[in-house]
Amino acid sequence: MGTGYGLWAAPPDPAGRWVQLHDETLTEVLSVAATEDGAPVAAGSYGVAMSTPDELGLPRWRSLTEEFTPDERYTNVLCLAASDLWLAGTEAGLLGSTDGGDSWSMTQVNGSPVRSLISVDTVLWAGTDDKGLWRSEDGQAWTRVDCPTEAVFSIAVAGDFLLVGGYDGIYRRDAEGVWGRSGPRALIRCLVADGKTWAAGADPGGLWYSEDEGGSWQRTGPFLRVNAICGPMEGGGS
């Protein structure tokens, strides 16, 4: 779990204490991913970092993006699409690495903060603050996709539907490429799709769900602000 004060692992026993995974160099963590061998990769206000155990077995973190400017380092979202393809959505754009994080370069998606990244099958999707939605099949060449909102904070794929969350609600694109509105009119921070059941987190606005592919929505729970949802996510989500 990433927090404003480091990275923590849940104990095997729910009644046990959480395990601290960070050291003094890893502070605010906004996104967490794992390599194919299970090693954690953390990202946040100081960039992307990995840890290696010291002689006592304690994690020691090293920055992978410290050579970049502050906005290029400030990472909102992380996606390890493959062992040799890592992506970091930063305040300056989208950084990519093709060697497991050893070296990074800015992609075509730049000049705007990147808030959402997902990988579904062989397709990568990225959403920005004010430059819309982008698509790639290799993480290096990106194409901007026609989208009714310039601000894309969340993305999910549900069967033939592509879903994006913006400042003013959810937009869904059908198999014919036609966009339509769906769900509450609110800033949508996160989307999850599992078959015909979709969930959306609004900030403010709480947690919403649909069981008919976005035809109708209901609000659930006492939540006022929802920033992340973890679900089955066969269709991805962010």
pLDDT digits (tens, 9 = 90+) for 118-135: 999 889 999 999 999 999
Q: What is the dihedral of CA 84, 5, 46, 224, to 10 degrees?
A: 80
236 has pLDDT over 70: no
3-state helix, strand, coil in the chain (%, to 5): 0, 50, 50
- In this structure, which topology does domain 1-145 adopt according to CATH? Methylamine Dehydrogenase; Chain H (2.130.10)
Tokens of 225: 């602000």
For residues 238 and 233, give the distance between their C-alpha atoms in angstroms, rounded to a whole number: 9
238 has pLDDT over 70: no
Contact (CB, 8 A) for 214 and 195: no
Side chain identity at residue 26, one-letter code: L
Q: Give 190-227 pLDDT, tens digit per residue.
A: 999 998 999 999 999 999 999 999 999 999 999 888 88
Q: Give 16-74 pLDDT, tens digit per residue.
A: 888 787 777 778 888 888 888 888 899 999 999 998 777 777 778 889 999 999 999 99
Q: Give 155-174 pLDDT, tens digit per residue.
A: 999 999 999 999 999 999 99
* Count of other CB atoms within 10 angstroms of residue 223: 16
How do strand 206-210 and strand 197-202 relate by DSSP bridges? antiparallel
Identify the band that residue 233 occupies on the pLDDT scale cut at 50, 70 and 90: very low
Residues 6+ apart with CB under 8 A from 38: none
Residues 6+ apart with CB under 8 A from 229: 190, 191, 192, 199, 200, 201, 207, 237
* Token pair 């601000």: residue: 151
Separation in Å, CA 18 to CA 13, 40, 52, 172, 174: 10, 16, 20, 39, 43
pLDDT at residue 201, as a whole number:
93
For residues 74 and 211, give the distance between their C-alpha atoms in angstroms, rounded to a whole number: 36
Ranges 41-45, 109-113, 166-170, 177-181: which has the least confidence: 41-45
pLDDT at residue 235, as a whole number:
47
Domain edges within the chain: 1-145, 148-238
